[in-house]
Amino acid sequence: MSDRQEEELSDSSVEDQLESDGQDGVSTEEDGIDFSAVAQKEVDEWKDKYLRAHADFENTKKRLAKDKSAAISYANESFAKDILAVVDSFEQALASIGGADEQNSSDILDKMKEGVHLTYEQLKKVLEKNSIKEIEGKGTYDPNLHQAIMQVDSPEHESGEIVQVMQKGYTIKDRVLRPSMVSTKK
C-alpha cells in the first residue's frame, strides 16, 4: 500500500468515526464535559456583563445631560445673588424719597445724590467681583475693544486717539462683553 492510500484510509476512518459521533467533526463531550453548554454559559455571562455596562453607560449619559442642563440654567445664580443687594439699595432710596415730602428739597437732593453714588459704587464692586471690568476709554483706538461711531477734529489729540467715550464698554474675563462706543480724531 502506498503512502497516499494509507492517508486516504486514515482520513476516511476519522470521518467515519466523527460521523458516528454525530457531531460533524466537533466532539463536545470529552471526559464527561459538555463544551457547548460551557461555551453557552460563558456567552450568557459576557452578554449579561455587556448589557449591565451598557445600561450603566446610558444612565451616566442621562445623568450628565441633566447636570449639564442644570449648570447652564443656574450659571448666573451667584451673579444674581450679588446684584440683589444693589436692587435692595435702589428700593430703599425710592422708599426714602416717597416719605420725604415735608423735608427741605435741598436735603432730599443731597441725600439722593449720596444714595445714588453709593449704589453706583456697590454695583461696580459686584461687577468687578464677577470679572466684569470697564474698558479703558482713553488712549489709542483698539478695534478689538472700541467701536468708532464718528471721527472728529481735535487739536488736543493725535490721529487715531480716542476723543470721547459715548458709551462705556465692558469685558468679562478675557472676552469683550460690549465694546466702548467712541469718537476718534480724523
The domain limits of the chain are 132-186
Q: What is the pLDDT of residues 143-164, one digit of tens each?
A: 999 999 999 998 888 888 999 9
Q: What is the pLDDT of residues 24-79, one digit of tens each?
A: 444 445 567 788 999 999 999 999 999 999 999 999 999 999 999 888 888 888 88
pTM greater than 0.75 (yes/no): no
Chain centroid to CA 2: 80
So what's the pLDDT on residue 16?
53
**Distant-in-sequence contacts of 120-125, Cβ < 8 A, 24+ apart:** 122/85, 122/86, 122/89, 123/83, 123/86
* Assigned CATH topology for domain 132-186: Nucleotide Exchange Factor Grpe; Chain A, domain 2 (2.30.22)
Residue type, 30: E
Instruction: Give the model's confidence band at 110: pLDDT under 50 very low, under 70 low, under 90 confident, else very high.
Output: confident
Site of grid cell 467515519: 16
So what's the pLDDT on residue 101?
56
